[in-house]
Structure 1
Amino acid sequence: MGAWDSGWTIARSPRALVDVQSVNPKRATPIWKTAWAQVFRSAADTVFPTAQECSFCQQPLNGDTRTGLCRHCLTDLDLERQGLNQCMTCGKYIDAEATTVPNNAPNIASNVAPNNAPNIASNVAPNNAPNIASNVAPNNAPNITPNNASTTAINGNECSDCLRQKPLFAAAWNIGPYRGLLRQSLHDLKYQGQRAKAEPLGRLMATILWRNVPNATWTQPWGDWQQAHLIPIPVHPQKLQTRNYNQALLLAQAISAETGLLVNDRLGRRSDTEAQAHLTRQQRMENLRGQFYVLPGASAPTAIIVDDIYTTGATVAEATRVLRQAGYVRVVVLTAAAGIGY
């Protein structure tokens, strides 16, 4: 893509006209029904416009409303990155003052695109591009830095966990650090029953995903991921009974609505695991060993694991292991947030 374009502006993408609630093609909504439903919704919005509010702070939206977030909330998301470096492999955040840059690290400015950025010739997106705006952002757009480059450090940093043991997944990305507005929004989604928070988060996650697509072209904007599966991390069965929904599945469905990628909810989880919150990374790894399984079904070349938060990486590491065994060749990770200093 070249340098990271400022702002979280999102444009409409071609959507796969399928029922993302189900991965069973026999139960998918017929294309003609979905198409007409979209026509009627668009007509109703034109004839009977409704006042729009920010999905995070409920204040009136101003300027570009396609993200579902107001300018203040988008700016706050940008500010949360200040003072933090980011692991180039797993996407976790590290306090900039505590980060030691290796002597042989390349001296590259943070606004230079990473090697895995899609090679798009022009800043203007093609007509069939996914639901992401062009690189030319409005003057008042927040200046958000690349997801795999920190705001204060040069490229090349890795956290101690990734230096100690290279993850099985190929890459991991997120919207930002787990604090401030992002933390509150995820808390509302998980514990306050505010399912609507998944939609704006999913849109931002789709933006991050598209900016890292390998081998994207004008005719194939999703490059190597044309047939990729979005695979949500299953919630613990006891939590599912209490909460009645899986926040990772809601995020995956929101991403699918923006990208047209298929949600494949075939990753299962056993119930005999201890709560993870107060365990160390090693304890989490041991606790999760053998707890995920893959339901029968067709695999794809690429699996995109979707979850709400990346902390120690134990959950996605075990999920990656079983997905690779099930036939997925490449596994990447996409979360709404990542922890700091784990």
Structure 2
Amino acid sequence: MQPLDCGALTALLLHAASRHLHRKLALLLAAHGLPLEVRDDAFVIPASGFDRLADVLAAFSGTERPDLLAVPRTGERLDLWHVAPLEQWVGRLSSGWFGAASERLRFHLQPIVELGGGGVYGYEALVRAEWGGQLIGAGPLLKAAATHGQSRGFDAHARRGAIQQAYPLLGPGQVLFINFAPGVVYNPDICLQTTFETCREVGADFSRLLFEVTESEAFPDLRLLRAILERYRAEGARVALDDLGAGHTSLTYLAELRPDLVKLDRDLVRGLHGDDPRVPLVSALVRYAHDLGIQVVAEGIETGGELRMVAELGADYAQGYFLGRPAPQPGGLAPQAARFWAAP
């Protein structure tokens, strides 16, 4: 990955798509003490003024912002390949750490537990980055990747890192859950090659790898998604869909794609109890998945009561803070979860 070096920029040229926006932009730039140098109908903002652009942008509505474009300049050279909405450039300037941080990825492992007996079935690799003396979580990393136009590169980079760092830490027979965003895979035969090469480099048993569609992904192209999952399976890996019951992962997707596992949306199990009106829905979803030959993971388990309920409703596995928090090393079951299965 090679995101643009924002620190090398000397100016941004701001262009408004209409006269009204041009006048509004001029007034706001002046109000924030920014120069009104104009070149080819665009306002030239030097690097010394970049820190005030977020305040300028805040005065524009969501419908106006796409019509404000920014062209980066390094020295006297305009980089027309990186023309983008001002909003995107403000995001890039505020996340200049992204390029360096993405080279310092770390993975925290959270256990997925068998509900039948409490054994650790596997671990999900959750991406982090070390930067500035702290850990940056997956949310800010993914947002920064999208802002810098690096979603595809970051997704592949993170998959490779998870395999390299986390797979060697697994216990015998345990499975590694690896997140991926299907929206960045335009051709599975091309885009997934580096992932498979990394698996072979570390000597990974493909049957102990499970690739999971990320929870934030609303993916409309069913045919491409099927091709992606089939490509993973052709190598011997397993696949999972996330957030069943949240709207994105519909029952149609389950029937068409037949993943090996599906994760119930955490909102379905949060605070779940015996008299809860969600119980019939959760029970029906679990039965439907089982009828298709799909195993079910209940995620977001934070209490013993929730764990008991999803076990009674037939889920196969569970994941959540009650069972174990993400950690740099595989930690097994949390003490309270171990006591849950030890109780008579």
TM-score by length of 1: 0.29
Instruction: Select the structure that is richer in helix.
Output: 2
TM-score by length of 2: 0.29
* Relative contact order, higher structure (CA 8 A, sep 6+): 1
Instruction: Select the structure that is richer in strand.
Output: 2
